[in-house]
Structure 1
Amino acid sequence: MPEPRIPAPRRPEAGTTLLELTGVEQTFHTKRGDVPAVAGVDLTVRAGKVLCLVGESGCGKTTTARAAAGLTRPTAGTVRFRGSDVSTLDAKGRQEFREAVQYIHQDPYASLNPVRTVYSTVTAGLRRHGHVRDRAEARRKAAELLERVDLTPAESYLDKYPHQLSGGQRQRVAIARALAMDSEVLIADESTSMLDVSIRVSLLNTLGRLRDQLNVGFLFITHDLAVAKYFAWDGDIAVMYLGRIVEQGPTPQIINDPQHPYTKALISAVCEPDPRLARAKKAVRLRGSEIPSLTELPNGCTFHPRCPLFEADTCDSAAPPLSLLDGGTRLLACHVVARDHEQAGVG
């Protein structure tokens, strides 16, 4: 019998490009017609960095995340891992991709098998692929992983079942499972949204520590810009609306100086705990509150029926391209804002 393969840790240098989405589209065919859930998305996840994908429910965030993780094949576009097209990988490359890119689901109550112990859940991949020699080594590895995600003492958790754990503890088990294969990219899909605020902050701190210690790259999906600000302050935010990225850039720029009207509306909806700042905060009034159906998208900019900056024959005539604003680091898709910036620069 061949000796089990024990993989050496793969720790890429900080800033290394790990996962790239180029022109990714995802269209679902339904009885009501085609549903363009994702329409030409470009994203890059780098080692030791966080890319937050934010937007309202139903805007295509999870569909994008599933395509990035290889759980679904996009209708068009390319997903690359370490520079290689995921769709063309051979069996060995596919296994490396599946081990290195791990998905953390939103619901900690549904993502764990109720009949498996914590030990069995965390070590399933290790045992399946021969990364541990025996049960004793598997338990040692599981204990190390639990301690890494702040479930201590680990021995008190190994033989428990999911129903014996709190929501926060379950999500930490899910993170430990994702780390078991020496993952390089974690795709966290609203992974803190179902937790209490205090538990949420604690879990975000754990994820931040793992990012810094292991150079793990994060694609972090959230509808909460307050969470994005806290977790991705040194990273980037990409704002999605109806399957398209409408604004993207370094988190401090997006939070402190939003340019797209939709981004401004999202930030204005974030609760401000300081009463003085809350009173000074300007509310963004939209033209309408109803989100267009994906089966009947409006012409031009899909945000124009709700946009306070709407200009007839401009916003409803052609979709604005996502392009650099003022030659800086921010990407923006808005006819009006881009034109105003260009005129201000000329002046």
Structure 2
Amino acid sequence: MSDPVLTVEGLRKHFVTRKGFPKPRTVTVRAVEDVSFRIHPGEAFGLVGESGCGKSTAARALLRLIEPDAGLIRWKGQDVMAARGAELKALRRRMQIVFQDPYSSLDPRQSIGSALMEPMRVHGIAEGAEARRRAGALLEEVGLPPAALDRFPHEFSGGQRQRIGIARALTVEPELIVADEPVSALDVSVQAQVLLLMQELRRRRGLAFLFVSHDLSVIRWFCDRVAVMYLGRIVEEGPAARVLADPMHPYAQMLRDASPLPDPSRRGVLPRILGEIPSAANPPPGCPFHPRCVHAMPRCSQVMPRWTAAAGEGQGGVACHLHG
């Protein structure tokens, strides 16, 4: 396998806030804790978990949209954490993001043409008539007419706005797209259209994707490999086909069993997910999943499980005492 384009090791992000009245206290929210993964050229890597597990924070931290507290981030061997000024600007051209909300991710006062041409000007790719020509071609590539350049975001539907968001990410010709829940705010029929568009762009442009989602059916269809996050940590990682068909971690099994299948012959009673995800400000000791785990043992509440490789080359691994 070729060398990874993106390597993330030990990524950590904590938020410190003040809570309580009338005597507020300082609280540390451990949003991301010791997250590591790699993405190879042209690969779609999924990051999945319940809301609040830290997957979107991890995605934004690796782009330095929010600054990580610790960890190593390398783009083709280059240290992203150490990059400053022009070096960081050049790195951001290689890695772009498509946000979850197509309504708030576009400036309502800025025309679509201006939104697409501004990144080209900032990165010295094109200006004036050439930038407008490139912007029109990008709109056509994502399924919108070039005439949309002179219109404003409020004139488009949610699916059209997300297509514009994808076009904006492509303006600087990136190699990696971070897709942060890109279809969760869209109707199901529109979701399918946007996913097909992203898959076609991935094939045609050779793009790599970090695809953040809570929807296992989307991950199953789009991604080559997947990492399952729980309370800021990756608890299982491996090929999507293996992880979603035969998960090793009880939490991954719970997510898989709770995901409905679009097959009437296989319908059944969905299992009830036990409990609520604990607060990242006060995580349980030992394995963070043990209060909700039906297989919990005494040591699960005392010792953090070690990472154990799955059987077979390239099959990933799991952090669970059942396999340690």
Please give the per-residue CA displacement for 1:78-124, whole angstroms capped at 9, x wherever unaligned: 11111111122243321111111111110000000101111111111
**3-state secondary structure, aligned to 1:34:** strand
Identity %: 41
CA contact (8 A) 2:258 2:272 kept: no
Query: Map of 1:45-124 to 2, 5 A cutoff?
Result: 45-124=39-118
What is the one-letter code of the residue matched to 2:226? I
Runs of 4+ aligned structure 1 residues displaced above 4 Å come to 283-286
Which of 236, 239, 242 lines up with 2:231 in the alignment? 242
CA contact (8 A) 2:181 2:211 kept: yes
* Distance in structure 2 (CA, Å) of the matches to 1:275 and 1:17: 40
Kindly tell me: are residues 322 and 285 of structure 1, through their superposed partners in 2, closer, same or farther at Cα, counting changes over 3 Å? farther
Kindly tell me: are residues 211 and 16 of structure 1, through their superposed partners in 2, closer, same or farther at Cα, counting changes over 3 Å? farther
Which of 117, 138, 141 lines up with 1:145 in the alignment? 138
* Distance in structure 2 (CA, Å) of the matches to 1:130 and 1:333: 45
Query: Map of 1:144-293 to 2, 5 A cutoff?
Result: 144-151=137-144, 154-232=145-223, 235-279=224-268, 283-284=270-271, 288-293=274-279
Number of equivalenced pairs: 316
What is the one-letter code of the residue matched to 2:243? I
* Distance in structure 2 (CA, Å) of the matches to 1:162 and 1:327: 49
- 2:290 aligns with 304
Aligned-pair CA distance for 1:285? 5.4
CA contact (8 A) 2:140 2:146 kept: no
Structure 2 unaligned spans of 5+: 19-25
Please give the per-residue CA displacement for 1:60-92, whole angstroms capped at 9, x wherever unaligned: 011100111121221111111111111222433
Kindly tell me: are residues 155 and 327 of structure 1, through their superposed partners in 2, closer, same or farther at Cα, counting changes over 3 Å? closer
Aligned-pair CA distance for 1:237? 0.6
**3-state secondary structure, aligned to 1:295:** coil
What is the one-letter code of the residue matched to 2:317? L
How does the TM-score come out when normalised to structure 1? 0.87
Query: Map of 1:129-144 to 2, 5 A cutoff?
Result: 129-133=123-127, 135-144=128-137
Aligned-pair CA distance for 1:273? 2.7
- 2:23 aligns with none
* Distance in structure 1 (CA, Å) of the matches to 2:83 and 2:295: 45
* Distance in structure 1 (CA, Å) of the matches to 2:84 and 2:290: 44
What is the one-letter code of the residue matched to 1:317? Q
- 1:342 aligns with none
What is the one-letter code of the residue matched to 2:179? A
Please give the per-residue CA displacement for 1:119-154, whole angstroms capped at 9, x wherever unaligned: 111111112233214x22111100111111122xx2
Structure 1 unaligned spans of 5+: 1-13, 340-347
* Distance in structure 2 (CA, Å) of the matches to 1:332 and 1:34: 27
What is the one-letter code of the residue matched to 1:178? A
